[in-house]
A and B are shown apart, each in its own frame.
Chain A
Amino acid sequence: MNHLLKNKKLASRENSVLNRLDWITVALYIACVVVGWLNIYAAVYNPEQPISIFNFDTNSGKQLVFAGFAVFIIIAILVIDYRFWETFAFFIYGFVLLLLIAVLFLGANIKGSHSWFRIGPIGFQPAEVAKMATALAIAKYLSTPGTNLTRFKDQLNVGIFMLIPMILIRISDETGQALVIVGLLLMLYREGLPGIYPLIIIVAATLLVLSLTVETLNIAIGLAIVGALVIFFLPRYQRNRKTYTAMGLIYVGCISMVLATDFIINDVLAPHQRSRIEVLIDPNSHKRGAGWNVIQSKIAIGSGGIFGKGFLQGTQTKFDFVPEQSTDFIFCTVGEEHGFMGSILVIGLLIGLILRLIILAERQRIKFARVYGYGVISIFFFHFLVNIGMTIGLMPVIGIPLPFFSYGGSSLWSFTILLFIFLKLDAQRSQIMSRV
């Protein structure tokens, strides 16, 4: 009798977790995974030898297995006590750093880079979970009372939290994954980091593009004109030496930045990295080389028209004109086979997910959950921004997957873990309330 009661109590607690889970997000998640799975099938479908979507020799069959395994991960996360993540945040961060170091020595050698652990048929990339661990660690750090992101000390500490994994990932030659961590600036901005930092990044990126396309002298003249205009519209009371000095410094800073870019692009970067940036400016500059990907990707997407060529009817992606068609360039298959309507659907799903997560993050009552929530948002957004941007030629080709759509167990699981830790935290927010 007692035993039975206990079971019932357990069941009701379980129920309550499921009841409080944000099912809108879960639905968006499932939709993304299913749509992704169908497109993975289409991307590698060979009309000469049609193979079932469930065949485990194909990427789609494997992805189904990965998705099945993800269900277990989700159950595990929902079962694990929500306090675990906050409590062990630094521990997890440390553990992941160890993995990142270990993979450099123990990782499988894939084209000269060591970023994957291989256990039988399953590959695992520590860089994938490093994003989650960094977000957890920073959330934990910022939830300590008294931290303030306007203070240099805290900015520095947070910067170190980000830099260590970035450097380690960069050493293992996964520049794209390292850059994702920069995306966490969005989270930091929400948590009080002055807007000047993201602004500097945006200005720097703009100057980078300009320095590649426009003569340095012209940039200098252009900036001088902008400065003159600023002074002209400046209120009289601000026209003092201090302002002018600041503007002069900014000007010098910008010009040095441009000169430095030239220097770095031409003398520091490896040729393949330089070509990636050059291709962003002009895809035709390396038509058969680095630009090939961008051109073929645009052809695939552009040929889809409004309604696309139909499921499995694409020709550009499945016939290898587009590289990495089931992983990084999965969006090409969507664009080709389902056209502009398919593009709207996929962008709608991902943006819907991100906007939903912003709502969830904002309603958190403890800082740890909110900061972590924005961490998830930042990571998803950065992936979305870069991945789709590169397929349509608006971003350089940086090899990072499209969350939930791209083929790969490692990425699907790490995104699932990332998302469901937050959903678990969100589901428990009333308990947290009661506890406080």
Chain B
Amino acid sequence: MQEVKKGIIQGVVILVALIYLAKLFYLQVIDEGYSEAAVSNAIEQVVQIPYRGQIYDRKGNLIVYNTPTYDLFITPKKARIPDTLRLCNLLGVTKVQFDSMYNVAKTYSKFKPSLFMRQLSVEDFARIQDAMVDYPGFTFETSAFRTYNTSALANTLGYVAEVSPKQLEDQEERGENYYRQGDYIGQSGLEKQYEEILRGRRGMKYIMKDVHGVVKGPWKGGAADIVPVAGKNLYTSLDVELQQYADSLFQNKSGSLVAIDPSTGEILAMVSAPTYDPKMLSGRNYSKNYARLALNPFNPLLNRALQGTYRPGSTFKTIETLVGLQDGAITPGTVLGHSGIRMNCHCGSSSSTLHRAIQMSCNPYFYHVFRRIIYNNDETNVFKKSKVGLTRWHDRVAKFGIGQKLGVDLPYERKGLLPDVEYYNKRNKGENNWKFSNIYSVGIGEGELLVTPLKLANVAAIIANRGWYITPHLVRAIGNPKGDPLPEFKEKHSVDVDYRHFETLIAGMSDAVRAGTVMRAAYIPDLEICGKTGTSQNPKGPADNSVFICFAPRNNPKIAIAAVVDYGKWGGTTSAPIAMMVAEKYIKGTVSHKGLERELMNKNLLYLPPPSPRKKPTPLLPKDRILIVENGKVKSVPATKSAYPQFSVYDFITMQ
């Protein structure tokens, strides 16, 4: 009996030990949750975000830099708010706003810190810092916002904003993990294009804290810490002074102007109008202002220079001339008649030479040129002939970058459209359903042809260079002002057209400015500008779009420009004088025609098409939804844990 009891006691002792070991095995080896809890308990990850690289213009003027600021974070689980009203007064928000912000944070996570108030100024921080000691659960993180020395260049520079849920997903798909919710990322313009260079590398410090939040030193002696690397500066080719001047000419107009130094491909100015002050999308009012800009019917967030697609109109006749001459379809001496053509002629006679056709922008002449190019082959069937001809024409024109992405160092460049055989087959539903007579309008830059102002400026640069171009770009050096641009921006691209053909074209362009389609009042006697006007049809608006390309001076050109003014009517009366003044300003530093300048600046050509009736009004935001920016659009999504709010309810109330 005693032996049995001894055995029972031993059994109980061993059983208890085994139960405990089993439980310990579960806690320590199987369940990973406790390790994570321990890390979030005692180890604080302090992110060290380096300053973003600064951006300079070609003369060394600082355009974009950083202003230090403080972000206020809240960890709802740790938050103790003894006196809400006092806190509201301190932060300068109302009770309603406070509650909604608090709820948004709580929805995101009770344990993780959420952004509560963004970008408190150093002064604000100093004012409230001491008082915030009474409110545990609120923490400050240093941060910085982009600050600008100019109110121009918004679309070129782009903006920096919080990384969107979509971008985080994309990042995950790429197998990267750099950005976390709430991080900043370049969202457009140079900020986006050169994001990895500008951002540097984020550092991380692991700090041990005790239960009271008191710092207890670096974790593992700092061995796991990552040292931050500062972002590199960008030295751009932009000329801020020229840019501001060009912007001033585009007041109350929509359109675009791109100026390039043809010898280097460096972009000197890039206007996209209407624009906005880059300050608007930096700092605390980002979300409010973004919503305003996104909802603005003039679409100021669109960089028209590379995203606006236009018919080139008569400016395309320059390419047509070069292709025709190179193709042997015409010679400099070809005289072509006007009769029987369903096109207007501006030259006032019944036939013209190539020179005069360029000078006066003769439509019937270029109808014939295009016809000759298309039919300049041995095929007998007219449909097949058209196809062979169009393919040849397409390949030659494509060399000028038309219908292609040029590869400028900005995101979201549009290809435009250069129709080819396939395109017309598809459009006409069959291979033998179209011939020259169906596509002739393309020959004078109308029809299906679409280009961006950047491409037009590049065409001007090609003509200025007599046959080659360097891909237009904005950044001439990275990190060091004397450095080099990226290697792709040093390479010359030839358009495979003989030098002599350019001289023929340029002679006509020179006369077009001197005594042709460009308005007399804009002529600048002491600067030989070679240009070509264009008036591209715009059936939606009250007038046609005014297009102009030019370069100056004729020999050793310094600047090549393309300008597009929406509803500017004639190329020669609006965009030509604007582009020429910009050229003169750049080369001479002054503008001769002050009266015309004033007149142009005061011209209001803004026009708003009537809103389409289908457009829904912005819905009211229900409590369980939050606003985010996705693919450049403000959007409301269900307030789930994965969706991090980029707008607070407060922003939305103001938007309404």
Using a CB–CB cutoff of 8 Å, the interface residues on chain A facing chain B are 46-48, 186, 189-190, 296, 298-306, 313, 315-316, 318-321, 335-336, 339-340, 343-344, 347, 351, 354-355, 358, 362, 377, 381, 384-385, 388-389, 392-394
Judge whether A302 and B35 touch: CB under 8 Å.
yes
Chain A binding surface SS class: helix
Stretch from B19-27, B269-277, B427-435, B637-645 forming part of the interface with A: B19-27
Complex formed: what's the CA distance from A47 to B211 in Å?
A: 15
Nearest A residue to B42 by beta-carbon distance?
A: A315
Complex formed: what's the CA distance from A347 to B16 in Å?
A: 10
Whether B5 sits at the interface, judged by CB under 8 Å, is yes
A358 touching B9 in the complex, CB below 8 Å, given contacts A305-B29, A306-B29, A315-B43:
yes
Nearest A residue to B37 by beta-carbon distance?
A: A299
Whether B216 sits at the interface, judged by CB under 8 Å, is yes
Among the listed B10, B35, B37, B216, which residue makes an inter-chain contact with A46, where contact means beta carbons less than 8 Å apart?
A: B216
Judge whether B210 and A320 touch: CB under 8 Å.
yes
Complex formed: what's the CA distance from A351 to B12 in Å?
A: 11
Complex formed: what's the CA distance from A347 to B17 in Å?
A: 7
Complex formed: what's the CA distance from A54 to B84 in Å?
A: 49
Judge whether B34 and A343 touch: CB under 8 Å.
no
Nearest B residue to A352 by beta-carbon distance?
A: B17
Among the listed B17, B19, B210, which residue makes an inter-chain contact with A319, where contact means beta carbons less than 8 Å apart?
A: B210
Chain B residues with Cβ below 8 Å from A344 are: 21
**8 sample A-B contacts, Cβ–Cβ < 8 Å, listed by A number:** A186-B9, A302-B28, A320-B211, A343-B21, A354-B13, A355-B10, A385-B16, A392-B23
Judge whether B21 and A392 touch: CB under 8 Å.
no
How many A-B residue pairs have C-beta atoms within 8 angstroms? Tell me: 114
Please tell me the size bucket of the interface on B.
Answer: 35 or more
Judge whether A315 and B13 touch: CB under 8 Å.
no
Chain B residues with Cβ below 8 Å from A335 are: 24, 27-28
Contact with A along B22-57 (1 / 0, CB 8 A): 011101110101110111011100000000000000
Whether B208 sits at the interface, judged by CB under 8 Å, is yes
Whether B79 sits at the interface, judged by CB under 8 Å, is no
Among the listed A190, A316, A362, which residue makes an inter-chain contact with B42, where contact means beta carbons less than 8 Å apart?
A: A316
Chain B residues with Cβ below 8 Å from A340 are: 24-25, 28-29
B 417-471 contacts with A by CB, 8 A: none
Judge whether A47 and B42 touch: CB under 8 Å.
no
Judge whether A392 and B216 touch: CB under 8 Å.
no
Chain B binding surface SS class: helix
Nearest CB in chain A: distance from B39 CB, A? 8
A362 touching B6 in the complex, CB below 8 Å, given contacts A315-B208, A319-B211, A347-B20:
yes
B 189-223 contacts with A by CB, 8 A: 208-212, 215-217, 219-220
Using a CB–CB cutoff of 8 Å, the interface residues on chain B facing chain A are 2, 5-6, 9-10, 12-14, 16-17, 19-21, 23-25, 27-29, 31, 33-35, 37-39, 41-43, 208-212, 215-217, 219-220
A48 touching B6 in the complex, CB below 8 Å, given contacts A301-B24, A347-B17:
no
Chain B residues with Cβ below 8 Å from A296 are: 41
Complex formed: what's the CA distance from A114 to B210 in Å?
A: 31
Instruction: Give the interface centre of B31, B33, B216 by most chain A CB atoms within 10 Å.
Output: B216
Complex formed: what's the CA distance from A384 to B12 in Å?
A: 13
Judge whether B210 and A394 touch: CB under 8 Å.
no
Among the listed A190, A347, A388, which residue makes an inter-chain contact with B9, where contact means beta carbons less than 8 Å apart?
A: A190
A392 touching B13 in the complex, CB below 8 Å, given contacts A48-B217, A315-B38:
no
Nearest B residue to A189 by beta-carbon distance?
A: B5
Judge whether B24 and A319 touch: CB under 8 Å.
no
Judge whether A303 and B10 touch: CB under 8 Å.
no
Chain A residues with Cβ below 8 Å from B219 are: 315
Q: A302-B38, A319-B209 are in contact. List 19 more A-B contacts (CB 8 A).
A: A46-B216, A47-B208, A299-B38, A301-B34, A302-B27, A302-B33, A302-B35, A306-B28, A315-B219, A316-B42, A319-B216, A320-B210, A335-B27, A347-B17, A347-B20, A355-B10, A355-B13, A381-B13, A388-B20
A47 touching B216 in the complex, CB below 8 Å, given contacts A189-B9, A320-B210, A351-B17:
yes
Nearest CB in chain A: distance from B23 CB, A? 5
Complex formed: what's the CA distance from A352 to B21 in Å?
A: 14
Nearest CB in chain B: distance from A419 CB, A? 16
Complex formed: what's the CA distance from A298 to B28 in Å?
A: 9
- Closest 7 pairs (CB-CB, A-B): A302-B34, A303-B38, A319-B210, A315-B42, A302-B27, A320-B211, A340-B28
Judge whether B6 and A358 touch: CB under 8 Å.
yes
Judge whether B19 and A394 touch: CB under 8 Å.
yes
Complex formed: what's the CA distance from A388 to B22 in Å?
A: 13
Nearest CB in chain B: distance from A390 CB, A? 11
Judge whether A320 and B212 touch: CB under 8 Å.
yes
Nearest CB in chain A: distance from B214 CB, A? 8
Complex formed: what's the CA distance from A335 to B42 in Å?
A: 16
Complex formed: what's the CA distance from A138 to B215 in Å?
A: 53
Nearest B residue to A47 by beta-carbon distance?
A: B217
Judge whether A343 and B212 touch: CB under 8 Å.
no
Chain B residues with Cβ below 8 Å from A306 are: 28-29
